Structure 1
Amino acid sequence: MADDRIDTVMLTEFPVLRLDTPTREAVGIFTESGWSAIPVVDAAGSLIGIMSQKDCFRSALNASYYQQWSGTVAEHYTADVKSLDAEMDVVSAAEAFMALPYRAFPVLRHGQLVGMINRQDLLRVFLRFG
């Protein structure tokens, strides 16, 4: 199992957000995709942050009060993003999920965003064993 790498179980198709994405649009992407966190990328596709469903609630509550959505991803995302390396083994990835409160991690190879891995997909790997 320690030889299994996360690049064999990560998802390579996932939504991304940009800083200028309107918050209402981002909420729609969350609800349609089912992801709990979505990477924020620059124009070149490089990872610059992450936005979680939780990050959307302030804007959603304001919209419920004022009947109007405002703001962009730039106002709500987290720039200090934690990521995993594509060559990391699944045991180390599981330890990262245990140590941190995140439900999903961006996966990088040589600094480039190549995938996403979430708790559920990683747990599926462990079901094969034991």
Structure 2
Amino acid sequence: MGIKSFQGARKQQQNITEVAALKVSDYMSRELITFRPEQTVEEVIQTLIRYKISGGPVVNSNNELVGIISEGDCLKDISESRYYNMPMEQHKVENRMVKHVETIDGNMNIFDAANKFLESKIRRFPIVENGKLAGQISQKDVLKAAIELKGQNWK
């Protein structure tokens, strides 16, 4: 019997440390399509369709996060407008957006963020820094990170 080398195990440990250092801020989107509370729901719908997105953060004039509006929120508005036979031209984002928004820290590990997505069933999390909207991480961003890491670390 020969002596086995443990060099491979040490190298693998180094890669695990590198993976653990990957943060949400490394993969979050910083250039976002945002909405304002005073916009109409109809404007939001047009923007969602034009940019092929499913929702976005709502910010005030100081770029502070005040809510999130999604396709589902817009669908509720359309449904209620039709049910009550009321025109929706004047419906405002502030009346349809989700006001209590769960955010995550940009310093969070990317795999902890993946677990948070699984636990919450939310599609996107805003990242707030110093009270201002700094970015957003989506499930797709986490998937992109995993594919990049696969080529570097997963054998």
TM-score by length of 1: 0.90
1:31 maps to which residue?
49
**Residue number in structure 2 paired with 1:120:** 140
Structure 2 stretches lacking a partner, 5+ long? 1-18
Within 5 Å, give how 1:46-85 maps onto structure 2.
Answer: 46-62=64-80, 66=85, 68-70=87-89, 71-85=91-105
Identity %: 25
Total equivalences in the alignment:
130
The answer to whether 1:10 aligns with 2:20 is: no
| One-letter amino acid of the structure 2 residue matched with residue 93 of structure 1 | A
Q: Which residue of 1 aligns with 2:8?
A: none
Identify the range of structure 1 (109-118 vs 21-30) with the bigger mean alpha-carbon deviation. Answer: 109-118
Higher relative contact order (CA 8 A, sep 6+): 1
Deviation, 1:83, is 0.8
**SS at 2:20's partner residue?**
coil
- For the aligned residue pairs, the C-alpha RMSD in angstroms reads 1.7
Counting helix residues as a fraction of each chain, which structure ranks higher? 2
Q: Distance in 2 between matches of 1:69 and 1:24?
A: 7
C-alpha distance in 2 between matches for 1:67 and 1:77: 19
Normalised by the length of structure 2, the TM-score is 0.76
Structure showing the higher strand proportion among its residues: 1
Structure 1 unmatched runs, 5+ = none
| Distance in 2, Cα, partners of 1:38 & 1:103 | 10
Displacement of 1:64: 5.7
